[in-house]
Structure 1
């Protein structure tokens, strides 16, 4: 009974957080449906398009819930035990992560759908705005490299997510075929909704079952799409280019909507398994204050290893980059901003449970995707039977791949936004050039770095991600201060995250520089850590100077 009680207690914490603390934050932000949103006032049919709240929630949820809330808790649990992970995810998401997402979405909507960097430029000055853009763009490059590398690996036969399932078909080809058909379904759905405008319930009735159908169909045509790791990496980056400049109605919105249902299915399997599976907890609640190695100390590395699930700066980019341009009413922002982050925390809980119920011998040498896929497969057999275990584990691994894949086009689009805001390039030509510049570094890294290189900078990715969250809360706090509104609910968590991530980055800087042997990944990671530290210190000093001043006159429309 311990596992069901833990899950129900965690869910109660999330629900209480939404109604109590989420309501508190909403009152401080003064949401007003009478105030037009950018989606209403601009409505250009490409980037600014009003979306129904449930539709937008699904798209936003699928964009933010990628590999982070799955891989991070699994890695951290094996190092520190499940109890520290559970406490950080539960309380961190209520008081930090969900507040970060909610406030960043609100700030962007109140500023015409502009990015966090543009908001920082307005309140911190032009230099700080450019520094913020540089920080965000570098962080996005890390996201693209990691997720493109992970996704390409899932498309290659014998990938880690599927090799323990006992399947006799080309596992990577099955995932690739299912993913390609899933994207094709999204395009068809977008075209139908744009030109024929059928009711959403009818589209849902047709395309959601089809999405699960292609997961099964992919196992039947697993030998059709077979390439090596580099070939898939190049195709994925080419897809990112197309998705970055395509209208949101053509791919981003329908893909996000359908991907949300895959998340819901994985969540449902997790809930069924946790509550009714009768599994015992196999892992200790607490393991060690220091697991060894350069990033083995619980403080600060627990808080950056779990890069999503509790708090994620990447979410602020999604909120201000794509989601804010589709919000139809301000009252929708609480459930989309605060609520979706709480839902991601539950995704992180399910991922944590998949390692909690695993025997120590089953974890030896297993990567996060394998552990998650096997865990979801065990849960799913409660519905489909033990004789379908092979298919169940395949579905779990393909769900993991889908979460990663769904984030790539959003990240590339956000990187394109950063380049366009920094350079002032507009129109389709500016969008294309911005996209090409954004994928150039990931292209070079994937070509010359080799497959599987993402694991070498996961902790740096996590630290930069959390530091971005601190900088976002900092910008939000300065905005609220300038508007003569209470800002403590944003600035207090900002201080905690800022201290933790700077501490982690300093240790990573020293460790990578000590391990480098010339022009290698360790040197680049060390330089990256140094750049993140310097940019963050500059932005923090600038924000502190602004906060010490008397609040400026209220800006029109802010």
Structure 2
């Protein structure tokens, strides 16, 4: 959990969201709009070449499958721990329910499922953010200052681990894979700033609220947070913070808001895989038969991945997510070059994220496991 890095997380979320994530989301969204809703691998191919297009197709599919699996297992565990009894306290039951919903959201047209249920998800997110943030102020929780000395309880270095651990609240390549769905729904380009840039800023605010809550709610600060994480993972943290700040009823609403976050990512992840395959193979998706032809094998692979250790999947997802964002930023910079405009808005965060991803894969256990003395100079 990124909050274990202390107040440094606040800086990364704030600066990363505005200078990296929102820029990334805006460019990926608007480029999709201007290319008739094409998926991000096709757009990258336009500006970085055919080789990059092929790499992005494979990379995007892997990332989206990991997203779908991660955001299937996480919500299932949270729902099973809401205090219900019988089958409703069974993680496997909720996993089956979420999988069934994901399948419908992947196969059916957007206006049949996703467009109808997302307003409800949005409401729970608002309740969660306002409720948790407001109660922190009411109860006067001691939010750590930026100047307070903190280190990760497990001794993990801030560089580059923090910048990979905290993704969705700062910058996330996964967002680029969702751009085609949003771009196909926009009536005009004028909606782009609020839909792509604005939504990322809102996500950054939510991330700041939860980072502050996680750091300040538990006794002994980060040590207390680490103890709760070791007992029950992020799900237990969410449960204790939500119920502790908002009571049982309000806490349940906040938890549902937290559950809505990953579910609204997982459902569109599998859908995006289907669309990427459809674009790559030029398969029309107007018929249900063609949609099923692509969706069924995708879900078979996703279901198989649920049997792999969650922590392993999460580590590979985290790196893949940031690497994808880096490629999209470079493609955005190249677009600006093609337009004879200043590319620094995209190339500066692209350079930073290139350094993050390179150092991470050199140091991380799932990478080359090299020492900092070797990884940092490289």
- CA distance in structure 1 between the aligned counterparts of 2:235 and 2:116, rounded to whole angstroms: 26
TM-score (norm 1): 0.61
Question: What SS class does the counterpart of residue 228 from structure 2 fall into?
Answer: coil
- CA distance in structure 1 between the aligned counterparts of 2:369 and 2:313, rounded to whole angstroms: 13
Rg larger in structure:
1
Contact kept in structure 1, 2:107 and 2:291, CA below 8 Å: yes
The 5-angstrom pairing of residues 319-468 of structure 1 reads 319=179, 321-357=180-216, 358-360=218-220, 362-363=224-225, 364-366=227-229, 367-380=233-246, 389-427=247-285, 428=287, 429-446=289-306, 448-449=307-308, 453-468=309-324
The 5-angstrom pairing of residues 114-153 of structure 1 reads 114-153=38-77
The 5-angstrom pairing of residues 238-257 of structure 1 reads 238-257=100-119
Distance 1:482 1:332, change over 3 A: same
The 5-angstrom pairing of residues 70-89 of structure 1 reads 75-78=1-4, 80-81=5-6, 83-89=7-13
The 5-angstrom pairing of residues 73-222 of structure 1 reads 75-78=1-4, 80-81=5-6, 83-156=7-80, 159=81, 162=82, 169-170=84-85
Residue 492 (structure 1) aligned with residue 348 (structure 2): yes
TM-score (norm 2): 0.88
Contact kept in structure 2, 1:100 and 1:473, CA below 8 Å: yes
* Higher relative contact order structure (alpha carbons within 8 Å, sequence separation ≥ 6): 2
- CA distance in structure 2 between the aligned counterparts of 1:329 and 1:392, rounded to whole angstroms: 38
- CA distance in structure 1 between the aligned counterparts of 2:343 and 2:29, rounded to whole angstroms: 16
- Partner residue of 2:165 out of 299, 305, 314: 305
Contact kept in structure 2, 1:354 and 1:376, CA below 8 Å: no
Q: Deviation at 1:349?
A: 1.0
Contact kept in structure 2, 1:263 and 1:399, CA below 8 Å: yes
- CA distance in structure 1 between the aligned counterparts of 2:228 and 2:313, rounded to whole angstroms: 18
Distance 1:266 1:454, change over 3 A: same
Question: What SS class does the counterpart of residue 322 from structure 1 fall into?
Answer: helix
Contact kept in structure 1, 2:228 and 2:236, CA below 8 Å: no
Q: What is the total number of aligned residue pairs between the two structures?
A: 360
Q: Deviation at 1:432?
A: 1.6
Distance 1:286 1:326, change over 3 A: farther
Structure 1 residues not aligned, in runs of 5+: 1-74, 171-222, 381-388, 515-558
CA distances 1:471-515 after superposition (whole Å, capped 9, x unpaired): 11111112221222222111111011011012212323566889x
The 5-angstrom pairing of residues 505-524 of structure 1 reads 505-508=361-364
